[in-house]
Structure 1
Amino acid sequence: MGEQKRKQEAANTTNFIFEKKNYQFMLLGVAFIALGFILMTGGGSDDPNVFNPEIYSWRRIRLAPALILIGFGIEVYAILLNPHKKK
């Protein structure tokens, strides 16, 4: 009877795949991605007959996509991070 109770207690414990450190890096990655998309917005024109060259600004063409790619890189790192690994 004691062994059955131990098995049930072991089944009731919740094991998370990720630790707090993983989630912190994931939030950082999501913040980079969100910032990249925010910086990419705008630059359009209200009148379809008028072209606004601001859409090709350095911020929208270089900075925003770079931040998004960095954010995805941080997400991959957060998933692969093993917080239990000793140095």
Structure 2
Amino acid sequence: MAKDKPAGSATLTRDEPAKKTVTTSVVTPKTTTTRSAMSDSSRSIALPFGRQNYTLMLAGIGIILAGFFIMSLDKEEFGFGFLGLTLGPIVVMGGFVLEFFAILARPKA
């Protein structure tokens, strides 16, 4: 007496090659909305940083540029004076620390 196999089970033998199953998917068309149908909140672009972050970033860039300018004011040969070796690099590093802080600071909501 032969037993009926359930519909979902399949056993393969050497004599029977594997049957390929074909799956179909239904593609639904995307609906498009016009500009007039969008709300005002969806039109605004969310910036990754807040106003305070961008202000601090600009200040950091200004401090970095000021440090390089201080280094260029050194009158010693090859910039080996106090301005070129000490003060300028400290100001530049301060600008980079401010940039680091500006990127990691949480924007105020």
Fold agreement, TM-score > 0.5: yes
User: Could you state the TM-score of these two structures normalised by the residue count of structure 1?
Assistant: 0.69
Conserved? CA contact 2:63–2:95, under 8 Å: yes
**The structure with more helix, counted as a fraction of residues:** 1
RMSD (CA atoms):
2.5
- Partners of 1:32 and 1:22 in 2: CA distance: 15
Identity over the aligned pairs, expressed in percent?
Answer: 26
1:27 to 46, 50, 58: 58
Instruction: Look at both structures and tell me which one has the larger radius of gyration over its CA atoms.
Output: 2
Would you say how many aligned residue pairs link Structure 1 and Structure 2? 74
- Partners of 2:62 and 2:91 in 1: CA distance: 10
- Partners of 1:13 and 1:54 in 2: CA distance: 51
1:57 to 52, 76, 81: 81
Dislocated runs of 4+, deviation >4 Å: none
Q: Secondary structure in 1 aligned to 2:48?
A: coil
Q: 1:72 maps to what in 2?
A: 96
Q: Partner amino acid for 1:64?
A: G
- Partners of 2:73 and 2:59 in 1: CA distance: 24
Higher RCO (Cα < 8 Å, 6 or more apart): 1
- Partners of 1:16 and 1:53 in 2: CA distance: 46
Could you list the per-position Cα deviations for residues 43-87 of structure 1 after superposition, in whole angstroms to 9, with x for gaps in the alignment? Answer: 57xxxxxxx5472111110000111111011001000011237xx
- Partners of 1:26 and 1:18 in 2: CA distance: 10
Q: Relative to 1, partners in 2 of residues 1:73 and 1:19: Cα closer, same or farther, differing over 3 Å?
A: same
Q: Secondary structure in 2 aligned to 1:23?
A: helix
